[in-house]
Amino acid sequence: MVSFEIEYRVRLSREEMWNLREDPAFLQWQYEHCSDMSNLEIVEKHTDPEDSDLVTVSWRITPSVPLPQFVLAYVGDGAGIWIEDVHEYRLSKPFFIRFRSHPNMFREYTETRGECEFLEEPAEAVDGQASTLVCIRGEVVVDVPLVGSYVESFVVSNLKSFYTRFPDLVHSYLAAQSGTLTNEVHINGATDETIEAAQSVARKSAEASTLPADLDTQSAMLALQRSPPLPTATQPAPVGLMPESTEAVHEHVNGASEAWWRWN
């Protein structure tokens, strides 16, 4: 298991950023101007019939980042791989999301989950522009013999790489909408400074996910093929709530349509 914490800032109010994240036009802008994905869409959004305050949103992300060699050895060229990313939040408690992600392949062995909070920051003294700090924290679990830790590092590094560039995707989209897009923010949604930072993260990602030359990946693949799906009792421990809460978090493992946490 690898834990991660990611923060990014955008020059929007908290409410504006909260609303923008599900805007279909912005979703399209993301996959059209981000090299990490070839598609991003919301496939389902519904309110729990037994709890009208609880909203579940299911996303489908088609990645376009190069996959680790071990994964390619198992799935071929990687065509047909997508990620199911499911968010839950309460209408009475906006600006806080719990998420859980699985690839459509290896879903019995791979899980990324955590929580995301949108924090309003005071307007800057220079121009009075409000901003929002978005905090993401969670964990990645890849329960595959020998190579799991390398794939976990690959996932975390790519998350960091994406969110390094994400603020510029937001700002370039807003600039394009207002007709003020300039060379300062490239059409691909990244400034020169951000591109350099993202390239540094990408290099670290490649290093973290490169398997040692003497690692017996064939044994790992055979073990993966032989291993049955993890029983419920051995699923990773549930993610905790935000620090200010003393409640325990419980989850259901019956699929995306079920609530994972019991809320009071």
Residue 24's pLDDT is: 93
Residue 75's pLDDT is: 63
Residue 172's pLDDT is: 92
| Burial of 122 (C-beta count, 10 Å sphere; 0-12/13-18/19+) | exposed
120 found inside a domain: yes
Does the pLDDT value for residue 119 go beyond 60? yes
Least confident range from 45-59, 69-83, 132-146: namely: 69-83
80 found inside a domain: yes
CA pseudo-torsion sign 88, 18, 7, 25: positive
Which tokens hold the place of 192?
A: 């020169």
| Burial of 170 (C-beta count, 10 Å sphere; 0-12/13-18/19+) | buried
Among residues 248, 263, 228, the alpha carbon closest in space to that of 109 is found at: 228
Residue 215's pLDDT is: 53
Among residues 166, 169, 173, the alpha carbon closest in space to that of 201 is found at: 166
38 found inside a domain: yes
pLDDT-derived band at 109, boundaries 50, 70, 90: confident
Does the pLDDT value for residue 65 go beyond 70? yes
178 found inside a domain: yes
63 found inside a domain: yes
- Residue with the two structure tokens 């399209």: 28
What are 2-56's pLDDT values in tens digits?
Answer: 999 999 999 999 999 999 999 999 999 998 988 788 889 999 999 999 999 999 9
CATH number at residue 131: 3.30.530.20
Residue 212's pLDDT is: 57
* Residues 54, 61: Cα–Cα separation, whole Å: 23
If you average pLDDT over residues 69-92, what whole number do you get? 79
Share of the chain above pLDDT 90, in %: 41
- Residue with the two structure tokens 């019991």: 262
135 found inside a domain: yes
Residue 228's pLDDT is: 44
pLDDT-derived band at 218, boundaries 50, 70, 90: low
Q: Report the SS3 class of residue 184.
A: coil
Residue 167's pLDDT is: 93
CB-CB contact of 186 with 203 (8 Å): no
Q: Report the number of distinct structural domains present in the chain.
A: 1
Angle at 101 between CA 159 and CA 23, to 5 degrees: 75
- State which residues form the domain around 174: 7-210
Chain CA centroid to CA 139, Å? 11
Q: Which residue has the higher pLDDT, 107 or 185?
A: 107
Residue 123's pLDDT is: 76
Mean pLDDT of the chain: 74
* Residues 60, 46: Cα–Cα separation, whole Å: 15
What are 250-259's pLDDT values in tens digits?
Answer: 332 223 333 3
Q: Which residue has the higher pLDDT, 103 or 80?
A: 103
25 found inside a domain: yes
* Residues 185, 176: Cα–Cα separation, whole Å: 10
Q: Which residue has the higher pLDDT, 249 or 152?
A: 152
If you average pLDDT over residues 204-214, what whole number do you get? 54
114 found inside a domain: yes
Residue 61's pLDDT is: 93
